[in-house]
Structure 1
């Protein structure tokens, strides 16, 4: 039997450093934007870079989060 991966959704996750905690550590917030599962990684990264310019806080990471069904056929 072959395993089949069926993409469901993708998200661009942009992690921002929102400030500093009371103990002196960095405080982060993540903004999530929906994306098409078929989108190329480079395209999503370019969109993430464009969204960085709209953010007030410094960006620390741009991630792609994919979900999919795995079926054994």
Structure 2
């Protein structure tokens, strides 16, 4: 049987450092932005995340894109 994979949506997840813990480890927070077009180019998603989060005072530690795909067995 053939498997049909249909992209549903993408979620942009950006982690950033808000400070240090008492032991000196980085304190990380993350923000998710839903409804990213599934057909948007990875470079465009990365560039938009960089532009948006450059407006805050905290340094970005990672940018991730989570793709959600509907899988149907035909």
**2:60 alignment partner in structure 1:** 59
After TM superposition, the runs of 4+ consecutive aligned structure 1 residues lying more than 6 A away are none
Q: Which structure 2 residue ranges, 5 or more long, are not aligned? A: none
Please give the alpha-carbon distance, in whole angstroms, between the structure 2 residues aligned to 1:2 and 1:22: 54
For 2:24, what is the secondary structure of its paired residue?
Answer: coil
Give how far 1:52 is off: 2.3
If the length of structure 2 is used for normalisation, what is the TM-score?
Answer: 0.88
If the length of structure 1 is used for normalisation, what is the TM-score?
Answer: 0.89
CA RMSD of aligned residues (A): 1.1
**1:43 alignment partner in structure 2:** 44
